[in-house]
Amino acid sequence: MNLTRQIEQYLPSQLLELVQNISRQAAEQGQRVYLVGGVVRDMLLGYPNFDLDLVVEGDAVKLSQQVAEAGQARLLAHHRFGTAKLKYQNFTLDLATARKETYARPGALPTVTFGTLKDDLIRRDFSINAMAVSLAREDYGQLIDPCQGKDDLEQGLIRILHPESFSDDATRILRGVCYQQRFGFEFEAQTAQLLKRDIPMLDTISGDRIRHELEHIFEEERPELAIKRLGDLGVLHRINPFLTGDGWIADKFDKARRLKKPNQLSPLYFCLLSYPLGERDIDQFLARLNVPAKLSRAVRDTLRIKAGLTLLGRPSLKPSEIYYLLCGYEPLAILANAIATESSTVQRHLQLFLTKLRYVKTSLGGEELKALGIPAGPQMGKVLQALYKAKLDGEVRTRSDEKKLALSLTLKLER
Ligand code: ATP
Ligand code: MG
């Protein structure tokens, strides 16, 4: 099957010219270049995807060096893996030397040797990701599909390429559910059976790799679909017994999205996913997923705030009291609680902190107080604190209000 017409319609012309150019340079060295993986799958489905992965039969690093020198690209190469990234102004291209993989033991990173395009395709996760399109002049546009991925795409099936696939690399369980939900596909019957059989193999996977796949899921339009399925299958439970994927998560993820803060969305989902954990379970969870420091802080704070929510639910709280209850916590954790809580009072208090209280500043600082004759030292500290509290509670508004209060406080303190 030849896809020349589809490629030309699908890829933006700038990108098309670029990959054709790379393919020409490869040909001069007797190498061949193919489009592979997600872009081929999405082109056949008619979904946009301009994250291009190219496989090179030959030497991807050497080819990328040449391409970078000839064009306006920045090169990031990994000689050991035979991979390279070419960064252009508007996009990046990933190039990889075709490779063959063997697994020394389940869950281990594979032993890699260089191979043919077919070797490279049959080591992949699912048939729908194991297709390539040739960019070489001799067979330009030819679909290479050794695992019948196109049939599976048409039938809406997620299929692994050999029975030990999930056990070799159990991250494929998470990946499979992600694609299944993204495309509304089914698992092919044997794949479904093996997936269930191999859920315990998740124990062989490092924390970083599991977390990375969860973050891959968090990039989905509606990640709660995959999270729910992972919950139903017992995958979340295997990662941590307290994680659930029930309707609560769906509702909260939806609320998180409606805030329209794309940069914070992934860590926010992560905090919401952690929300059912108790404070005592948190260390084990963070260690299992090797969560980096900043995100760990946000998760810990999320659960600490949750533990103190009764205090935050008192309707009579003054703004300054809200401020001092929350000022030591990560804003992301406060936001997660604002989404998670069912109490409208708590929510109001958390939002007040996030939108207003945390930005409050007094007009007068130490220098101005000195000019008013208040000596530096503990006394000034007390005045500054009292000023701040009064400002939070709206008891002083203007600079002259602050001056008046500072002077009267000083008199009181001197008495
Ligand atoms: P997405 O649209 O989700 O990014 P993608 O196909 O581009 O889909 P990536 O995670 O970017 O997925 O990976 C690129 C390709 O690498 C996949 O298409 C797949 O063929 C292969 N791949 C990724 N992870 C694995 C894995 N764990 N085992 C085997 N092949 C994998
Ligand atoms: Mg991708």
Q: What is the pLDDT of residues 193-231, one digit of tens each?
A: 999 999 999 999 999 999 999 999 999 999 999 999 999
3-state secondary structure of 127: helix
Q: How far apart are the C-alpha atoms of 189 and 325, rounded to whole Å?
A: 53
Q: How many CB atoms sit inside 10 A of residue 138's CB?
A: 8
Shortest-distance ligand to the CA of residue 129: 1
pLDDT at 67 over 90: no
- Going by pLDDT thresholds of 50, 70 and 90, the confidence category of residue 412 is confident
Q: What is the mean pLDDT of residues 378-392?
A: 89
Provide the mean pLDDT of the chain: 92
Do residues 339 and 273 lie in contact, with contact meaning Cβ atoms separated by under 8 Å?
A: no
Q: What is the mean pLDDT of residues 225-240?
A: 96
pLDDT in tens, 10-63: 999 989 999 999 999 999 989 999 999 999 999 999 999 888 999 999 999 999
Q: How far apart are the C-alpha atoms of 296 and 65, rounded to whole Å?
A: 39
**Substitution candidate for ligand 1 out of 44, 52, 83, 129 with most atoms within 8 A of CB:** 129
Structure tokens at 136: 């070489």
For helices 207-218 and 262-274, give the axis angle rounded to 10 degrees.
120
pLDDT at 411 over 80: no
- Pick the residue whose CA is nearest to atom 24 on ligand 1: 125
245 lines ligand 1 (CB under 6 A): no
- How far CA 390 is from CA of 162, 323, 333, 369, 401, in Å, comes to 69, 12, 26, 16, 10
Q: How many CB atoms sit inside 10 A of residue 108's CB?
A: 13
158 — phi, psi (to 5°)?
Answer: -100, 120
156: left (phi over 0), alpha (psi -120 to 50) or beta: left
Tell me, in angstroms, the distance from the centre of ligand 2 to residue 386's CA: 54
**Stretch (H or E) spanning 252:** helix 247-258
pLDDT in tens, 311-356: 899 999 999 999 999 999 999 999 999 999 999 999 999 999 999 9
Shortest-distance ligand to the CA of residue 175: 1
Q: Which of 22-26, 102-106, 169-173 has the highest mean pLDDT?
A: 169-173
129 lines ligand 1 (CB under 6 A): yes
